[in-house]
Structure formats: structure tokens, C-alpha cells
């Protein structure tokens, strides 16, 4: 890492991304989505939110994986394998257990009581346990909900530590190498390969978007986006090791927004002019371009204009992980709270989003005041 200073722009970018995640999950109740959710708006849904979902899903979790991967090497270098794994087990493992065995059953219970019939939570929990046991079943049973991302980070941490331990026996030094540049002749082939592998995953290999599985019985995942997530996580590690983050965060790289956002705009226009068939022709390759273009564009934008902090942004950035962990119960609670309100789906989407964003951050801030919680959240 060539710059020892705090990378404030990455902190601020994570705040922006978690706001998108919250709005994305608020919209699940009010827009057209292929996935399931704990509350469904009873009236006409907002079709245009489908474009919002598609845009978000094309890049935002992948960018989270990239940023997470960037910080793994320095954490391992600083703490060593044993402390690195223990830290990840505490920070990731505790929220996973809490969400899987308490939050998820509570949300599934709320959905069941609201749409089926009343039953005590105790009886509902016993029913889940008898039916599924420790098997991860999404949706409907015990599962990690939105913390699938955290579970992946934990699995990657264990694999990373194992690989580093093996490599260290062969090479005593794995320090940062000479700075390398992320040039166009590298980025374009990556986009093409990502498009090809994603297309194969969603067609020949039988995993379309929104099909979730329990890999090995316990790893909750959506294979349709797995090539993007894994490759960007690895690129995040390489961005640190090869010091090429600076080369993709120059002001001129904000121009990557043009092809990234541009291909999305073209797709949306085609939906309303030529129909879905033409609009989603070669979508997997379009999505790869959108992902890379927006990721590079956002990194460059935040490095150029938001590489600083102040008290509010520092507070928010300290709570991005905690907010990610707790935001879904906050969102669902507000969605049910506004169920009696007679208003259009878009109005409720806006109102619930407006309340959920500060609400989720506030819950995280308050939880972190409890002694010991900061180590986890």
C-alpha cells in the first residue's frame, strides 16, 4: 500500500453503498422483484423499481466484495493467521448465529402470522426446527438472510488464511510488490471473461438470477452473481498487493460511468421501445460492462471528491457494518407499520426508505454503546 493515510473515500463509499442496500430492500415490498420478501404491498407495485433493482444488483455487492478484499492482506499482515481467523470468527460468526437463529425466525414468523394464521412464536420455532434442523433453507427456514455476504466473507477469510499460510512456507515475504497499472488491455478482457462465465452460470449450468442454493449444505449463495463477487474479491486483494488502486481512482476514470451507465440507459430505453427480448439480449455481457464501469467510476468519483471526513461521516462510516447487520429488521418493521396507511406503492417506498436509513444507523449506533458490541459491530 503506497499511501499509509486513512482511505476516507472508501469509508464514504461504503456509507453510500449501504444506503443503496437499504433502499433496495425497502423496494422489495413495493416493486417488481423475482425474489421473496417478508412483506408484500397489497396494491399495484411500482414497475420502474425493477430497473432500480437491476442496476443495483449489477454492481453494489460486487463493489462491497472488492473493498473487503482490499483490506484482507493488511489485516493478515498485521495480525498473523491465528488472530486474523479469530477476529473474523468473532466479527462475522456472532452476527451470523444471531441472525440465523433469532432474527430470521422472527421475520419468517411475522410473515406467517400476517399472511397465514396466528400461531405462537414458540410453536412456529419448534416447527422450523423439526422440519429443517440445522440445514440452511432460503427462503422459509433457518437462513442467513442478507448476511449471506458476511458468511461469504468468513469463508473467504478462512480460505485466504490457509492459502497465505501455505505460501509463506515457500516465500518468506509477501509484501507489496512494485506498483502496477490497471490498464485497458486488462480491464476489457476481464469484462469479456466475466460476461462469458456469468452467461454460462445462468444458462448452461442452470442457475438463473434469484435462484438461491445452500452450497455444501451451509453456504447460502446466488450462483448467478457468484463469478462477479468472487472475482472482485480477488481483485480487491490484488489491488492491495499490486498497489493498482491509485491507477483506477484517477479523476479521468470517472469517464467509466459513460459505458457503465450508458449500457444501462440503452437497456431501459429498449425495454419501453423494442421490448424485453431485445433489451436483455446479451444481458450478462451488458451487466459485466455495467458492473466494471460503475465500480471504477464510483471509486474514482469518491477518491476525487470525497476523500475526506468530518464528524457525521466518521460516525456513519464506523457504523456501516453494524447498519448492514441490523437494517433488515428495521426495514420490515417499518413496512408492517405502514401497512394500514392508504398510499401508493412509490409513496410508501419513499417514506419507508426515508425512515429506514437513519433508523438502521441509529440502531447500530445504540447497539455499539453496549460494552463489547463494538468488537462485533
Q: What is the pLDDT at residue 137?
A: 82
The bridge status of strand 213-215 relative to strand 219-221 is antiparallel
Do 52 and 121 fall within a single domain? Answer: no
User: Is residue 272 situated within a structural domain?
Assistant: no
Spatial CA neighbour of 96 closest among 155, 48, 39, 40: 155
Give whole-number Cα distances, 157 to 79, 178, 245, 255, in Å. Answer: 13, 25, 21, 33
**CA dist., res. 242 & res. 179, Å (int):** 5
Do 145 and 181 fall within a single domain? Answer: yes
Give whole-number Cα distances, 114 to 6, 48, 131, 142, in Å. Answer: 47, 27, 21, 19
Do 223 and 86 fall within a single domain? Answer: yes
Do 90 and 149 fall within a single domain? Answer: yes
**CA dist., res. 350 & res. 30, Å (int):** 10
pLDDT by 10s per residue, the chain, length 377: 334 478 999 999 999 999 999 999 999 999 987 667 999 999 999 998 999 999 999 999 999 999 999 999 999 999 999 999 999 999 999 999 999 999 999 999 999 999 998 999 999 999 989 888 878 888 778 999 999 999 999 999 999 999 999 987 776 555 556 677 888 989 999 999 999 999 999 999 999 999 999 999 899 999 999 999 999 999 999 999 888 998 999 999 999 999 999 999 999 999 888 988 888 899 999 999 999 999 999 999 999 999 999 999 999 999 999 999 999 999 999 999 999 999 999 999 999 999 999 999 999 999 999 999 999 99
The residues near 350 (Cβ < 8 Å, ≥ 6 apart) are none
Q: Give the 3-state secondary structure of residue 303.
A: helix
Structural domains of the chain, count: 2
Answer for the pair 92, 150: CB distance below 8 angstroms, yes or no.
yes
Q: What is the pLDDT at residue 3?
A: 44
User: Is residue 302 situated within a structural domain?
Assistant: no
Do 109 and 43 fall within a single domain? Answer: no
User: Is residue 187 situated within a structural domain?
Assistant: yes
Peptide bond into 88 cis (omega under 30): no
**CA dist., res. 59 & res. 130, Å (int):** 38
User: Is residue 112 situated within a structural domain?
Assistant: yes
User: Is residue 178 situated within a structural domain?
Assistant: yes
Do 224 and 99 fall within a single domain? Answer: yes
Range of the domain at 317: 25-57+309-377
* Total residue count of the chain as it appears in this document: 377
User: Is residue 355 situated within a structural domain?
Assistant: yes
Phi/psi of residue 218, nearest 5 degrees: -145, -10
**CA dist., res. 245 & res. 53, Å (int):** 28
Q: Give the 3-state secondary structure of residue 218.
A: coil
**CA dist., res. 153 & res. 168, Å (int):** 22
Do 126 and 234 fall within a single domain? Answer: yes
User: Is residue 110 situated within a structural domain?
Assistant: yes
Q: What is the pLDDT at residue 318?
A: 96
**CA dist., res. 195 & res. 189, Å (int):** 10
Instruction: Label residue 280 exposed, middle or buried (CB < 10 Å: 0-12, 13-18, 19+).
Output: middle
Phi/psi of residue 282, nearest 5 degrees: 55, 40
Do 48 and 86 fall within a single domain? Answer: no
Cell 485497458 maps to which residue?
184
Structural Rg of the chain based on CA atoms: 21
Ramachandran area for residue 310 (φ above 0: left; ψ -120 to 50: alpha; else beta): beta
Q: What is the pLDDT at residue 2?
A: 39
User: Is residue 180 situated within a structural domain?
Assistant: yes
92 C-beta neighbours (distance < 10 Å), count: 22
Do 313 and 230 fall within a single domain? Answer: no
Q: What is the pLDDT at residue 1?
A: 37
Answer for the pair 222, 209: CB distance below 8 angstroms, yes or no.
yes
Do 182 and 108 fall within a single domain? Answer: yes
Do 336 and 210 fall within a single domain? Answer: no
Q: Give the 3-state secondary structure of residue 202.
A: helix
Instruction: Label residue 323 exposed, middle or buried (CB < 10 Å: 0-12, 13-18, 19+).
Output: buried
Do 183 and 76 fall within a single domain? Answer: yes
Amino acid at each position: 500500500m503506497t499511501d499509509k493515510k486513512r482511505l476516507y473515500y472508501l469509508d464514504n463509499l461504503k456509507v453510500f453503498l449501504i444506503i443503496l442496500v437499504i433502499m433496495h430492500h425497502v423496494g422489495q415490498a413495493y416493486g417488481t422483484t423475482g425474489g421473496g420478501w417478508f412483506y408484500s404491498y397489497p396494491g399495484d407495485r411500482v414497475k420502474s423499481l425493477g430497473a432500480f433493482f437491476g442496476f443495483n444488483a449489477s454492481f453494489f455487492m460486487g463493489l462491497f466484495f472488492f473493498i473487503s478484499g482490499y483490506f484482507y492482506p493488511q489485516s493478515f499482515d498485521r495480525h498473523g493467521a491465528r488472530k486474523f481467523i479469530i477476529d473474523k470468527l468473532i466479527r462475522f460468526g456472532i452476527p451470523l448465529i444471531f441472525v440465523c437463529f433469532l432474527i430470521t425466525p422472527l421475520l419468517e414468523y411475522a410473515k406467517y402470522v400476517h399472511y397465514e394464521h396466528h400461531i405462537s412464536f414458540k410453536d412456529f420455532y419448534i416447527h422450523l426446527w423439526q422440519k429443517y434442523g440445522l440445514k440452511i433453507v432460503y427462503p422459509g427456514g433457518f437462513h442467513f438472510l442478507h448476511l449471506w455476504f458476511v458468511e461469504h466473507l468468513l469463508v473467504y477469510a478462512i480460505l485466504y488464511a490457509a492459502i497465505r499460510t501455505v505460501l509463506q512456507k515457500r516465500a518468506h515475504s509477501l509484501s507489496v510488490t512494485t506498483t502496477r497499472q490497471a490498464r485497458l488491455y486488462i480491464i476489457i478482457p476481464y469484462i469479456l471473461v466475466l460476461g462469458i462465465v456469468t452467461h454460462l452460470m445462468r444458462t448452461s449450468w442452470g442457475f438463473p438470477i434469484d435462484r438461491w442454493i445452500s452450497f455444501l449444505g451451509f453456504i447460502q449463495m446466488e450462483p448467478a452473481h457468484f463469478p462477479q463477487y468472487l472475482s472482485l474479491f480477488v481483485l480487491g486483494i490484488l489491488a492491495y498487493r499490486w498497489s493498482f488502486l491509485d491507477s483506477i481512482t484517477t479523476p479521468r476514470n470517472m469517464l467509466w460511468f459513460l459505458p457503465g451507465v450508458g449500457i444501462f440507459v440503452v437497456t431501459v430505453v429498449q425495454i419501453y421501445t423494442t421490448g424485453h427480448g431485445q433489451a436483455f439480449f446479451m444481458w450478462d455481457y451488458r451487466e459485466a460492462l455495467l458492473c466494471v464501469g460503475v465500480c471504477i467510476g464510483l471509486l474514482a468519483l469518491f477518491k476525487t471528491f470525497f476523500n475526506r471526513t468530518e464528524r457525521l461521516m466518521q460516525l456513519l462510516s464506523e457504523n456501516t457494518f453494524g447498519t448492514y447487520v441490523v437494517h433488515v429488521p428495521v426495514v420490515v418493521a417499518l413496512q408492517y407499520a405502514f401497512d394500514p396507511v392508504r398510499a401508493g406503492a412509490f409513496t410508501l417506498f419513499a417514506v419507508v426508505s426515508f425512515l429506514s436509513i437513519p433508523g438502521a444507523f441509529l440502531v447500530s449506533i445504540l447497539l455499539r454503546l453496549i460494552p463489547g458490541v463494538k468488537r462485533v459491530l
